[in-house]
Amino acid sequence: MTLPKLVKFSELDTTQPAVMILDSGAGAHSIFRECKKLRPNSNYIIIEDKSFFPYGNKSIAQLEENFREIAQTIKNTKLISLILACNTASTHALEIFRDTLDCPVIGTVPPIKLAVTNSPNKCIALLATPATTHSSYTRQLINEFAQDVKINLIPTPHLASISENYVANQSVCQESLSKELAPLANIAELDTIALACTHYHLIKDEISKLYPKCKIIDCSPAIAKQFDRVSPPIFKQTPSVQRCYL
């Protein structure tokens, strides 16, 4: 899917109600593709917060300050809904945006529950940013849905950058990818790999080539379904897609 040119937020046409999708970069594209399937006639604004990329290696204080600034920047936009297309952002900023905006705010969570239902051996690897790996929310999901399952938390601090490079160049450095995913080779009976970062969705085919016997769990369809459930319908729009940075 070809996306429009990236422009500054202040240059956007914000006169019409729009669905906004926020991420630190190209991870938003995977969520957008699924949302577009369910609501093809909506306006979409994709925010790629590249100046703060990657979210996953920032401190909690840095993240919360950044998200408060973004919330203030977009609060006067006519929003149908806001999708936080990022596990790290959802973990640390969901309430910040919900307190500031008068629209549904949809978060992205690690697909642990979905991975558990798809794992015959009950042996799962969760690929995530360091921030998501160490978050209390991730631990809460494991305690709730995976008490009898072996969950291997694999921090992958460089995988988002590998994904960004893939979008820019349409190719992956196999050496870098293999090195980043090397811990997976040591997990006996691994049958399911859960992608807990929307950037990783973009290279799931490349991951599958390295681990062809594993199911790859991508949460983007579930996020799109939740967006469709909670967002109000908008009629008589001429659909458009805009991309911006802050």
Considering only CA atoms, which of 77, 70, 85, 75 is closest in space to residue 36?
85
User: At residue 235, what are phi and psi to the nearest 5 degrees?
Assistant: -110, 160
What pLDDT shows up at residue 56? 80
Instruction: Indicate the burial class of 128 (C-beta count within 10 angstroms; 0-12, 13-18, 19 or more).
Output: buried
Q: Which tens digit of pLDDT belongs to each residue from 72-102?
A: 999 999 999 999 999 889 988 999 999 999 9
Choice among 35, 123, 173, 197 that is catalytic: 197
Please give the domain boundaries of the chain with CATH numbers for all domains: 6-108+222-245 (3.40.50.1860), 112-218 (3.40.50.1860)
197 in active site: yes
Choice among 35, 86, 103, 214 that is catalytic: 86
Cα–Cα separations (whole angstroms), residue 204 to 16, 147, 194, 214: 34, 26, 10, 11
What DSSP designation does 4 have?
P
Q: Which tens digit of pLDDT belongs to each residue from 95-145?
A: 999 999 999 999 998 999 999 999 999 999 999 988 888 888 899 999 999
% of the chain beyond a pLDDT of 70: 100
Is the bond preceding residue 54 a cis peptide, omega within 30 degrees? yes
What pLDDT shows up at residue 1? 60
Residue 47 corresponds to which tokens in the numbers above?
Answer: 């925010």
86 in active site: yes
